[in-house]
Amino acid sequence: MNAIVQSVLIFSLFCPILSTTCISAKTPAIKKKTEKATQMRVSTFLVGEIEVAPFDLPCGGTYENAMQAIDSIGEGWRLPSVEEMKLIFENKDKIGGFAANYYWTRETNGDKATHFGFVLGDITAVPKHHGKRIRLVRTK
């Protein structure tokens, strides 16, 4: 049984600022492109063996945006696999905070990457330059 357990950790957010649209009032202030945001204490969710971030990264965007953000955050955070995304989708109401939109997964093939739809649970490969939402996970 994949029970969802809430845990608390320090989660450091960084959004590679490519435009001012990455910054919103709900995210920590970011002063420079290379400066990390202040750390904040947030609750995460355990679903099976993965820890799910409680919110989407504020910048979203291209697959390259996702990779830059992951490199900046570190600490084991990554994009979920398609199988992990299915598990998250099954528990999306318990986790909360998901948009009725598409999210990047870590599966790629050349200039395409797989995204996962959070309305129907559909899976499609699209060009990496498309803009998608980003929700990170890490192995517990």
Supply the pLDDT for residue 132.
Answer: 96
Tokens 């490199």 belong to residue: 71
Give per-residue pLDDT as tens, 35-80: 444 454 567 889 988 999 999 998 789 999 999 989 988 889 999 9
- H or E stretch at 117: strand 112-117
* pLDDT over 80 (residue 86): yes
Q: Would you state the pLDDT for residue 138?
A: 95
Instruction: Return the minimum-mean-pLDDT range out of 26-40, 64-78, 97-111, 118-132.
Output: 26-40
Give the separation between CA 4 and CA 27, rounded to whole angstroms: 25
Domains of the chain: residue spans and CATH: 4-139 (3.10.100)
Average pLDDT, the chain: 78
CA distance 12 to 94: 23
Phi, psi of 88 (to 5 degrees): -65, -45
What pLDDT does 19 receive? 33
Contact 45, 5 (CB under 8 A): yes
How confident is the model at residue 74, as a pLDDT?
Answer: 81
CA angle 3, 6, 12 (to 5 degrees): 135
